[in-house]
């Protein structure tokens, strides 16, 4: 039975300020990683799959019981025009390309009017006409129109681009974003935190150290963030494990990561590899992430890249969240994933029940808005 409630575990709060309490961070989390590099490698390679899933699910269950969350959200991708050319990206366009687009502020605001939308996720291409002032102006207008909406906006890559264009520091950009109403920095742009992959796939934009530095600065300013991993292309197992260990170390030093989101590479037309990672590979990455990142509260099964069946199974391999309904997601759509561009809240509830879990609707800060009990 579904119960509508506004159950805010943190007590009376300003509904729009993030309550990043690190509720699941325990004292031992700041000590050394829970497993060695070698064991982590085995998790990705030949550790018995069901035993791995059982271990990761046990960690998820100890934290959240049978609860799995989702959010009613909208992806806002203002433009796909981008000055960079990452080799894995089907989304970006150059001026004159048939698939190039740029939305107006009015079009964006229209999509966020519906009061059932609890989170806006804003990320786009890097394009002078969508510079810092205009992007901040968009956030201010959304904030004015929907004071309670959770705004997750601008990746570290965009922060670095804005700082370069404005000739100011990334700290100043982050502080101005917070002032305009941004609640959380999304996890994009991390790709694989490896200098080799940076050179091979995304050398135009910031590399691993700059990405980590910007997230660390955000945390120090009190702006929480997410982290992603783009896997299933040319990366090695060692590079995945190193990526996870780097995130864990940053979180131990300067906490602020809320969720970790493994993104399975969609070959689209870029074809770094011919096929999407196999379901077993996706499940191993999800489970290993849950077991290594014991100091990051949430692991998402991001259905647009995992595909729906694997996302459901991932809920038994350590993931505790499905992300959201999305509205109109464009980044993966342009890689022609075969996944829908949006799902209804009821469809997400059904997916969670199929995994034997209880669906809970949350907002962007993981406050439970509606819980379903057995």
Query: Quick check: 323 and 258 in contact, CB under 8 A?
Result: no
The contact set with ligand V47 (CB under 6 A) reads 88-91, 123, 186-189, 191, 226, 228, 230, 259, 261, 263, 265-266, 268, 302, 305, 323, 331-332, 335
Q: Which of residues 64-83 bind ligand SF4 (CB under 6 A)?
A: 82
Cα(150)–Cα(365) distance, integer angstroms = 7
Instruction: Tell me the closest approach of the beta carbon of residue 364 to ligand V47, in angstroms.
Output: 9
85 binds ligand SF4 (CB under 6 A): yes
Helices and strands in the chain: count of H runs, count of E runs: 13, 11
Is the Cβ of residue 24 or residue 270 nearer to ligand V47 in the bound state?
A: 270
Site string for ligand SF4, 156-175 (x = CB under 6 A): -x------------------
92 touches, from ligand V47, ligand SF4, none (C-beta below 5 to 8 Å by class):
ligand SF4
- Cα dihedral 330, 333, 335, 339 in deg (nearest 10): 150
Strands 2-4 and 368-372: antiparallel
Is the Cβ of residue 155 or residue 313 nearer to ligand SF4 in the bound state?
A: 155
Among 68, 71, 92, 263, binds ligand SF4 (CB under 6 A): 92
Site string for ligand SF4, 19-38 (x = CB under 6 A): --------------------
Cα(137)–Cα(55) distance, integer angstroms = 46
226 touches, from ligand SF4, ligand V47, none (C-beta below 5 to 8 Å by class):
ligand V47
Stretch that binds ligand SF4, among 88-96, 145-153, 302-310, 362-370 (CB under 6 A): 88-96
Q: Is 330 left (phi over 0), alpha (psi -120 to 50) or beta?
A: alpha
Residue nearest to ligand V47 (CB): 188
Please, what sign has the CA dihedral across residues 293, 297, 303, 309? positive
Among 86, 103, 229, 351, binds ligand SF4 (CB under 6 A): 86
User: SS3 for 196?
Assistant: helix
205 binds ligand SF4 (CB under 6 A): yes
What kind and span of H or E run contains 245? helix 237-253
Instruction: Tell me the closest approach of the beta carbon of residue 114 to ligand V47, in angstroms.
Output: 20
The burial of 347, by beta-carbon neighbours within 10 Å (0-12 exposed, 13-18 middle, 19 or more buried), is given as middle
């Amino acid at each position: 039975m579904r119960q509508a409630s506004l159950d805010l575990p943190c007590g009376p709060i300003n509904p729009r300020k993030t309550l990043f309490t690190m509720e699941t961070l325990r004292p031992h989390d700041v000590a050394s990683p829970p497993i060695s590099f070698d064991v982590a490698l085995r998790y990705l390679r030949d550790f018995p799959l069901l035993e791995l899933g059982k271990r990761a699910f046990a960690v998820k269950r100890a934290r959240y019981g049978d609860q799995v969350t989702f959010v009613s959200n909208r992806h806002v991708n203002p433009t796909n025009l981008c000055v960079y050319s990452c080799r894995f990206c089907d989304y970006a366009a150059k001026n004159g390309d048939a698939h190039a687009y740029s939305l107006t502020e009015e079009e964006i605001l229209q999509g966020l009017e519906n009061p059932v939308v609890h989170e806006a996720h804003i990320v786009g291409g890097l394009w002078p006409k969508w510079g810092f002032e205009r992007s901040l102006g968009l956030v201010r207008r959304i904030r004015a129109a929907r004071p309670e909406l959770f705004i997750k906006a601008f990746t570290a890559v965009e922060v670095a681009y804005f700082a370069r264009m404005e000739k100011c520091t990334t700290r100043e950009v982050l502080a101005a974003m917070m002032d305009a109403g941004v609640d959380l920095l999304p996890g994009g742009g991390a790709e694989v935190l490896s200098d080799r992959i940076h050179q091979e796939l995304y050398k135009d934009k910031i590399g691993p150290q700059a990405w980590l530095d910007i997230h660390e600065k955000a945390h120090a300013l009190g702006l929480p963030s997410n982290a992603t991993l783009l896997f299933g292309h040319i990366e090695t197992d060692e590079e995945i494990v190193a990526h996870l260990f780097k995130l864990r170390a940053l979180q131990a030093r300067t906490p602020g990561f809320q969720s970790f989101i493994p993104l399975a590479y969609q070959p689209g037309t870029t074809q770094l590899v011919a096929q999407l990672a196999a379901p077993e590979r996706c499940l191993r990455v999800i489970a290993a992430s849950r077991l290594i990142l014991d100091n990051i509260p949430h692991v998402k099964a991001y259905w647009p890249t995992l595909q729906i069946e694997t996302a459901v199974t991932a809920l038994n391999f350590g993931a505790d969240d499905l992300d959201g309904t999305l509205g109109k997601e464009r980044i993966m759509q342009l890689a022609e994933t075969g996944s829908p561009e949006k799902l209804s809240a009821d469809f997400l509830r059904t997916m969670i029940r199929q995994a034997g879990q209880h669906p809970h609707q949350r907002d962007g800060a993981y406050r439970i808005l509606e819980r379903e009990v057995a």
